[in-house]
Amino acid sequence: MKKNAFKKILFSIAIVALLFGCKGKKEASFTTGWNYDDPEWGGFESAKPNDQLEPNGMVFVEGGTFVMGQTTDNVRKEWDNQPRRATVSSFYMDECEVSNLDYREYLYWLQRAYGNDYPEYVKKALPDTLVWRSKLALNEAYVENYFRHPNYADFPVVGVSWLQAVEYANWRTDRVNERILVENGYLELDLDAQGDNTFNTDAYYAGLYEGLVLEEKENLDPSSEGVRKIKIEDGLLLPKFRLPTEAEWEFSAYALIGNSFDERIVERRIYPWNGYQVRTDDKKYYGEMLANFKRTKGDAMGTAGALNDHWEYTAPVAFYFPNDYGLYNMAGNVAEWCLDVYRPSTNQDAEDINPFRGNVYTTKVLDADGMISEKDSLGRISYREVTVAENINRTNYKQADNINYLDGDLRSQLTDQWKKEQSEDEDMIVYEDDPDAMPVSETNAMYEYGVSSLITDKVRVIKGGSWRDRAYYLSPGQRRFLDQAKSTEWIGFRCAMDQVGSKSIY
């Protein structure tokens, strides 16, 4: 026993010595043997992988494969939504639709930061409250009260165009990342910042935003001044908020994770819940509607004393039961903007992993010295579209604008009688039999906007049913579209965010 005890003591001493001997030892590169994070070996920094911060108001949506497209008989005889299998990467999605309160916070910040010098920018962000007007209905109370009255604070914002929703997402990115820097002690909150002095994530990464610095990170480069700003390699700041793609929206709405076992989907859903009904079979709430929609013409909420879905127009953003991802109102209430440009044949053309149509590739604007150009008057750095010359040796893409690719791109579809001649604008063509003719838009030439189609490069996908729709549109597989500059009283939006790296809920 004494001998064994002595061996244990020696073993413990050896472990302690080993630990102290390793203390302070730098991790070395597997390929060169040079130390990481060591100024004596050049100071190359290697931040450790970390868990992405949970974005405020969002839930994690674990990705996977699913059958995207219509799940019911197409009563409108449309052919733009045939079922096909697709895979979606994991991402984050807003738990609820963006509310009036959320959007008013945005406007308040814009007014404080830009109202004095750029009031037109603030005005451009205002929702159109006149969308509530109808020539044969009395809705002036909604025109006057819906957006600003506190009784509607938790209702979804409407009257917001796709363009306005994108600007909101950009603003949210900067406010969240500014908060992260403040909470981690790198910046002091600057409540007086206005115009080009306001915080912008891209400008901060580019070294064009100074702000009220409290602390900077140690710079291990021996040729540096010893400190530096946070950079993307540190993994501290969040990726950009954005609108969800059509595939992401549909995948998260179905929430098939709730009725799958291993890799077998127990039941393919018509709605964001199981079954063929729009009422719950939960004993506690038996018979309650699961979404806000119009049951029949003239029946928006049921009879007095027995209201079916309770609301004639919109409902609070967290009123009904959430789906199995914890997302509210993925059926009914308001339809929602998606990031995609609409095309009827996207289901045939798009990739089967993270399908999306709408890529327009850009790069930062540089000055004559090759440095990133100065910020604009709103504190943002400028971007321009990439050129064909810059991408001459690429095999995956050549031009910046790929909206038309395989659907509207006449250059890849014209027969020999057409001369594939580009004008100065790469998205324009001329005909061989009339070389002096004015160039026409490729999309317009194919879809004849205003004659046989409403499709342009500026129409965006809308997903989900709304308070004014019948149950048919509650299916996440349905798709519609609208011009990105227009807004209505039945369309709202929510934001999404990429999951950086791998993450599983298990």
Clarify whether residues 102 and 136 are in a common domain.
Answer: yes
Residue 201 confidence class, pLDDT cut points 50, 70, 90: very high
| First CA to last CA distance, the chain | 45
pLDDT > 80? residue 54 = yes
pLDDT > 50? residue 13 = no
pLDDT at 458: 93
Judge whether 193 lies within some domain.
no
Using DSSP bridges, classify how beta strands 459-463 and 335-341 pair: parallel, antiparallel or unpaired.
antiparallel
pLDDT > 60? residue 10 = no
pLDDT at 151: 97
CB atoms within 10 A of CB 431: 16
pLDDT > 80? residue 275 = yes
Judge whether 431 lies within some domain.
yes
Between CA 420 and CA 414 the distance in angstroms is 8
Clarify whether residues 50 and 62 are in a common domain.
Answer: no
Clarify whether residues 242 and 340 are in a common domain.
Answer: yes
Judge whether 30 lies within some domain.
yes
The residues, any chain, with a CB within 8 Å of residue 357's CB and separated by 6 or more, are 340, 341, 342, 343, 346, 349, 350, 403, 405, 407
**Angle 90-92-94 (CA atoms, 0-180°, nearest 5)?**
150
Clarify whether residues 64 and 121 are in a common domain.
Answer: yes
What's the total number of domains in the chain? 3
Between CA 473 and CA 478 the distance in angstroms is 6
pLDDT at 450: 74
Clarify whether residues 412 and 469 are in a common domain.
Answer: no
pLDDT at 420: 44
Residue 25 confidence class, pLDDT cut points 50, 70, 90: low
- What average pLDDT does this structure show over 239-263? 93
pLDDT > 80? residue 506 = no
pLDDT at 90: 95
Lowest-confidence region among 25-39, 96-110, 122-136, 296-310? 296-310
pLDDT at 313: 94
Lowest-confidence region among 111-115, 197-201, 222-226, 493-497? 222-226
Clarify whether residues 491 and 447 are in a common domain.
Answer: no
CATH of the domain at 120: 3.90.1580.10
- CA 426 to chain CA centroid, nearest Å: 28
Clarify whether residues 173 and 283 are in a common domain.
Answer: yes
Torsion sign, CA atoms 89, 91, 96, 100:
negative
- What average pLDDT does this structure show over 252-276? 88
Find tokens 């730098």 and name the residue. 26
Contact status, residue 365 vs residue 382, Cβ threshold 8 Å: yes
Can you read off the two tokens belonging to residue 247? 């595939």
The residues, any chain, with a CB within 8 Å of residue 483's CB and separated by 6 or more, are 456, 458, 459, 460
Q: Is the pTM of this model over 0.75?
A: yes
Between CA 302 and CA 97 the distance in angstroms is 24
Lowest-confidence region among 42-46, 87-91, 502-506? 502-506
pLDDT at 260: 83
Residue with more model confidence, 157 or 268: 157
Angle between helices 100-114 and 162-183 (to 10 degrees): 70
Contact status, residue 313 vs residue 151, Cβ threshold 8 Å: no
pLDDT at 435: 41
Clarify whether residues 151 and 289 are in a common domain.
Answer: yes
Clarify whether residues 71 and 119 are in a common domain.
Answer: yes
pLDDT digits over 417-447, tens only?
444 444 444 444 444 344 444 344 567 667 7
Between CA 91 and CA 354 the distance in angstroms is 11
- What average pLDDT does this structure show over 405-427? 55
Residue with more model confidence, 24 or 202: 202
- Residue 260 pairs in a beta bridge with 265
Clarify whether residues 139 and 260 are in a common domain.
Answer: yes
Can you read off the two tokens belonging to residue 400? 């910046």
Contact status, residue 317 vs residue 154, Cβ threshold 8 Å: yes
pLDDT > 80? residue 415 = no
The residues, any chain, with a CB within 8 Å of residue 65's CB and separated by 6 or more, are 85, 86, 87
Judge whether 19 lies within some domain.
no
Lowest-confidence region among 55-64, 113-122, 435-444? 435-444
Find tokens 């799940």 and name the residue. 71
Clarify whether residues 71 and 146 are in a common domain.
Answer: yes
Q: Which residue range is the domain that position 30 belongs to? A: 25-54
- CA 319 to chain CA centroid, nearest Å: 23
Contact status, residue 113 vs residue 195, Cβ threshold 8 Å: yes
HSE (side-chain half, CA atoms, 13 Å) at 201: 19
Between CA 17 and CA 183 the distance in angstroms is 38
What value does the mean pLDDT of the chain take? Answer: 86
Judge whether 178 lies within some domain.
yes
Clarify whether residues 49 and 173 are in a common domain.
Answer: no
Q: What are phi and psi of 289, to 5 degrees?
A: -65, 145
Lowest-confidence region among 1-5, 42-46, 102-106, 210-214? 1-5
